[in-house]
A and B are shown apart, each in its own frame.
Chain A
Amino acid sequence: MNNWRSAPRAQPTADAAAHQPDGFELASSRRDSLRRKLVERSVHVVLFLCAVISILTTTGIVITLLGETIQFFGEVPIVDFLTGTRWTPLFASKSFGVLPLVNGTIVVALVAIVVAVPIGLLTAIFLSEFAPARLRSVVKPILEVLAGIPTVVYGYFALQFVTPILRGIFPQTQIFNVASAGIVMGFMILPMMASISEDALRAVPRDLREGAFALGATRFEVVSRVVVPGALSGILAAVILSISRAIGETMIVAIAAGLQPQMGFDLLRSMETMTAYIVQVSLGDTPQGGIEFRTIFAVGTLLFVMTLVMNLLSDLLVRRYREAYE
């Protein structure tokens, strides 16, 4: 690599030497080129090290998770773990069926998605296709503020504000309940959903919109039959990223959804999610090294796999959507 680079460079320097016997400029240019090479090399190394850090972190997390998880599955059969419907690892009569936690996670995520996807998509359509530039410049920053609120604040908002309202409407609502956590989580995800969808909508070429307008389509017909279909895979990617965010969200559910692993779909009752369980054990007095402690690694691995699959899926969709109109 160095050979072919230095060869053509030698040419002009030799020429310069022939024309300028002084030699001063020649020396300075050689020093410059040396310095340039040094800077190039060190930039290269620094950037490489930065990239390595994130790779090492990921590898470290996976190794820690897997090590403890493998030990866990040495004691608890993986089939029991994945198919059991009773999760009582901290009780005297231990049972390691993870399904109640998965159930809780999915139910909360579903509530969040039902809130975030329609509102987020409609917000995105409004911002990208209908909003005048001035209104857009107001709404967008507000959305971004919503995205910047710490999740612990959302958690207390759910517990202190949304839950009392729900209890006013449905008196049987438990203090800790899935509905409240899910709805507030939906609002937490909303900015991400809206922002990614808006990017997808805006990426639909102006040519296509003009083509549709020129055929006598109304603004609504252009949006519904050209822009949204054109952005569909991008919108799907936004939905999947939102789901994966909802699955991984911890603070809101730990605060507002309760810590009772249960099967079922009753939104007004308390349920425990996978993330909330990990928090419960991490913060509790569970001794390190025991089977109870290892459960969190098994649950963590499952969570990791779930979100990984979601992210890969969205990657796939995003790639497809890039090709859609090229």
Chain B
Amino acid sequence: MINLRIDTRASDVAVSPSENGQSDVILMTRNLNFWYGNTLVLENIDCDVRPREVTAIIGPSGCGKSTFLRCFNRMNELIPTARIAGSVVFRNRDIYDRAVDPVEVRRQVGMVFQKPNPFPKSIYDNVAYGPRVNGYKGDMDEAVETSLKRAALWDEVKDDLKKSGLALSGGQQQRLCIARALAVQPDVLLMDEPCSALDPIATTRIEDLIRELREQLTIIIVTHNMQQAARISDRTAFFTVAESGAGTLVEFNDTQQLFTTPSDERTEAYITGRFG
């Protein structure tokens, strides 16, 4: 069913180490091409994501932002006709290597979705799900509490952890989903338009949370909202639809620079509201 072919290996891609000996790139794509069936959705994407930064991905609808995001935790292979070529390197290892278990990748690269999707279980069980399937042996109560605190939800729910996750408000549900993802202790958190279903106040809370989490992990966020990208991200990648119909990375730069002095006219047209 999973029809995922890898055409190129990452072994020939060098990763430049920074002064302190650590790699200054945590995730990297090279020549990434992606198809649904015979339709090319992403074309030759080269992109480096730095650790402990918020990287925003913006662009018009249908430019493959979400598909690109899902390449980082191999979520795309749940779609039967998906096919990928090129490499996605996480900590010097190609996550599409045959020897790599996608389950292992997803334990290190967590994800929060567009629509809050808590399981129809209690708040506690929602957060405990990840640790449980990952064979966590420690104190589960503590893990749940820590994760809920990190997601800034603990104070609101600590007295009714037995309540269904679905009984919470939309914004709380999304923070529950963030807590659930954090409970697995990922290094990277992918967020696919996490605020698009939320009201402005709930959005503000999530944005505050993203700023706090930035201290501890790497965040890649797809957003429709350019102001949001400008507010919360360190670097921004602008995608658009190329003439071939495939999504392509136009410009990737420091957020401030991208929004004030874009180097590509397509970026400028998009951020000034002339299209998209």
State the A residues within 8 Å of B (CB).
132-133, 205, 207-218, 221, 225-226, 229-230, 324-326
Contact B130 A325 (CB under 8 A): no
Report if B180 contacts A (CB, 8 A): yes
Using known A-B contacts A210-B117, A225-B129, determine if residue A218 contacts B103 with beta carbons closer than 8 Å: yes
CB-CB < 8 A to B118: which residues of A? 211
Stretch from B107-115, B219-227, B265-273 forming part of the interface with A = B107-115
Interface contacts beyond A132-B1, A210-B78, A217-B129: sample of 17 additional A-B pairs, CB < 8 Å, sorted by A = A133-B1, A208-B120, A210-B113, A210-B117, A211-B113, A211-B117, A211-B119, A212-B129, A213-B75, A214-B106, A214-B110, A214-B113, A216-B103, A216-B133, A217-B133, A218-B133, A326-B166
Q: In whole angstroms, how far apart are the Cα atoms of A324 and B73 in the complex?
A: 28
CB-CB < 8 A to B1: which residues of A? 132-133
Chain B 74-89 interface residues, beta-carbon cutoff 8 Å to A: 75, 78, 80
Contact B133 A215 (CB under 8 A): yes
State the B residues within 8 Å of A (CB).
1, 73, 75, 78, 80, 103-104, 106-107, 110-111, 113, 115, 117-121, 129-130, 132-134, 166, 177, 180-181, 184
Q: Which residue of A lies closest to B102 (CB)?
A: A213
Residue in B75, B80, B132, B134 whose CB lies within 8 Å of A214: B75
CB-CB < 8 A to A215: which residues of B? 106-107, 110, 129-130, 133-134, 180-181, 184
CB-CB < 8 A to A326: which residues of B? 166
Q: In whole angstroms, how far apart are the Cα atoms of A133 and B80 in the complex?
A: 9
CB-CB < 8 A to B119: which residues of A? 208, 211-212, 226, 230
Give the 9 A-B CB pairs with smallest separation, nearest first: A216-B107, A207-B117, A214-B111, A215-B130, A216-B106, A217-B133, A211-B117, A132-B1, A221-B133
Contact B106 A213 (CB under 8 A): yes
Q: In whole angstroms, how far apart are the Cα atoms of A212 and B73 in the complex?
A: 13
CB-CB < 8 A to A214: which residues of B? 73, 75, 106, 110-111, 113, 181
CB-CB < 8 A to B104: which residues of A? 216
Q: Which residue of B lies closest to A207 (CB)?
A: B117
B216: min CB distance to chain A, Å:
18
Q: In whole angstroms, how far apart are the Cα atoms of A218 and B113 in the complex?
A: 19
Using known A-B contacts A132-B1, A133-B80, determine if residue A211 contacts B120 with beta carbons closer than 8 Å: no
CB-CB < 8 A to A208: which residues of B? 117, 119-120
